[in-house]
Structure 1
Amino acid sequence: MYKVEDIHDLSKRLCKTVGLPYSPVAIRVYENDTELPSNVMRPYQDKGIHYGYCQAVSLVKTKGATIALSKEDHWCWKPLMAFGLVDVERNTDVYKIILRNCGIACPDRADYFFQNKFPMMSRNDNRIIVMGPLDKVEFIPDVILAYCDSSIQIRDMIAGIKRRTGKLVESEFDYMDSCVFSFMPTHFERKFHVTFPDPGETGRACCGENEVILSIPIENLEMLVEECEAKKRHAQGRTLKQDGTIKPDFPRPQFYNELFEKWGLMTGEVSWTEEQRGYKI
């Protein structure tokens, strides 16, 4: 596994290669406070204030803060449930309030969703979520959140994932609870995941309305960086330029012509060859 110095280097390389607007956010869950990094800020204990989970993420992104959220620090309800910090037993008054406010009109369907689709950790009142900027972090994270402000950034990372693993990035999308779904599927299933920031994150945490989150398992960070760097190198000789016009019969890669010829269709001008692509499949 990585050393923190390796993680700092990989973070900087990923930001430079993909063009990320912020250092990715590193997140690790501690079961108690006996091993917390020395540089963490604990909102209620240190300042007598509370943050929403998404607000803490934003402070990490934009200010480079390292923040530890224990049960007493939270000011939003979903992370308390997802991280196992409160009781959510079925057929209680608490549960009735939850079902009324999970965005599903039918009570039975709301119950099914919460029981089968809402990921939660086991109960532990002492659990603490620590988050910090990946390029300066003093701990080994479990999950990394890369916030993209361009579809091209997340597209390029997904391309690297597919090329190395042969798999597509699969995600289920909700309009709310980005705090939960940007972390839990990757934490539990060790897979990449795409999440849209929810209304609370854009409304309370200053998250840009065009931002999208790619969640990265820590064990796949180096692979992702290497593939993104390779893609950038290979693309230099075959760039596509957008000039605001739609042009028919545009120049195409040579293999297009090879396929079209075999299919009995017309060929045309070549833009690049497979040798110019820079790698062989």
Structure 2
Amino acid sequence: METLKIYRQYGEELERRLRLKTFPLAIKFLKNKKEIPKGTQRPLKDFGHHLSLCQSFQISRREGKPLAVLKEDHWCCEPVIGYGLGEPPDYFLEGYNRFPRDVKTLEAGKHYAQQFPRLDVGRFAGMTFMPLRTTDFEPDLVMIYCDSNQLCVLLLGREYKEGYNLNCALSSHAACVYAIVPPLQSGECQVAVPCRGDHYRAMAGDEEMIFTVPRGRLKDLISGLRHTATTGSALPHGYCMLPEHPIHESYMKIAKMMGYIEPKSKKKGGRKNR
């Protein structure tokens, strides 16, 4: 229970520090139906219909409901393929998922299928998710819908410990796959773009992006966010557009080293008031 308490505190802290509009989701993959947490609803069994996964995510991240989704609950085929809930048919592998609607040639559609992130077939039976602030399980991943400003702060927090860039493969399709499968496989954070289904069918905002952090990186992310909040990267913050605005001491030092800004003592005359 102490571990769950920490995760719930992380959820509340992410909401507070980032000023999020929706709940960060704790996500856990299930090996079988018996692992579904008690009191968790399923689309087909409890709602009487299939849902695309982005719609299920939307219900949980906006309404706070804990959900579990197995193969038979899905409506869109892409997460079924991406999560290894079934063997992809040749029709998908040959490129017809994208051709002719979205790509010029069948070969281009095949390229998409070849690069599509996929877990091994049969590894999992499904997934469950709920707001991190109320989670009843230790998550495999935490998924956060955010705007570009919040994403910048998240990336700053992620970079605090080691400083490396985040390498991502972005796609116009299957945000539910691109946001989930790569970080589960690599153990690294991931950024994804909400796809058409997420926008058209699940009410993702025009400004929204997706940031996913694996369990093993969550503590470092929180630590980084706590630090960067003390150095000028807390939300909310003000805005200004001034010429020669105040910049960090290290930036000014580098500029002078590179010779494109002169020390004040060498400048002739003062700057005119505007």
**If the TM-score is normalised by the length of the shorter chain, which range does it land in?**
0.7 to 0.9
Structure 1 residues 51 and 164: CA distance shift in structure 2, 3 A = same
1:113-262 equivalences under 5 Å are 113-115=112-114, 117-124=115-122, 127-148=125-146, 150-235=147-232, 241-243=238-240, 245=241, 247-262=242-257
Aligned residues: 262
Matched to 2:162, the amino acid is T
1:4-23 equivalences under 5 Å are 4-23=4-23
3-state SS of the aligned residue for 2:68? strand
Provide the residue aligned with 1:30 in structure 2: 30
Distance apart, 1:112 and its partner CA: 3.1
Q: Is this contact kept in 1: 2:159–2:224, CA < 8 A?
A: no
Distance apart, 1:125 and its partner CA: 9.4
Q: Is this contact kept in 2: 1:80–1:86, CA < 8 A?
A: yes
Matched to 2:262, the amino acid is M
TM-score computed with the length of structure 1 as normaliser: 0.84
Unpaired runs of at least 5, structure 2: 266-274
Matched to 2:199, the amino acid is T
Q: Is this contact kept in 2: 1:84–1:122, CA < 8 A?
A: yes
1:18-97 equivalences under 5 Å are 18-90=18-90, 97=96
Structure 1 residues 48 and 109: CA distance shift in structure 2, 3 A = same
Distance apart, 1:22 and its partner CA: 1.9
Q: Indicate which of 242, 260, 266 corresponds to 2:262.
A: 266
State the distance in 1 between where 2:169 and 2:123 align.
Answer: 28
180-189 vs 43-52, greater mean Cα deviation:
43-52
Q: Percent identity of the aligned residues?
A: 22
Provide the residue aligned with 1:112 in structure 2: 111
State the distance in 2 between where 1:242 and 1:68 align.
Answer: 42
Matched to 2:187, the amino acid is R
Distance apart, 1:95 and its partner CA: 5.1
Q: Is this contact kept in 2: 1:61–1:133, CA < 8 A?
A: yes
Q: Is this contact kept in 2: 1:40–1:66, CA < 8 A?
A: yes
Distance apart, 1:141 and its partner CA: 1.2
Unpaired runs of at least 5, structure 1: 270-281
- The CA RMSD over aligned residues, in Å, is 2.6
Q: Is this contact kept in 2: 1:27–1:143, CA < 8 A?
A: yes
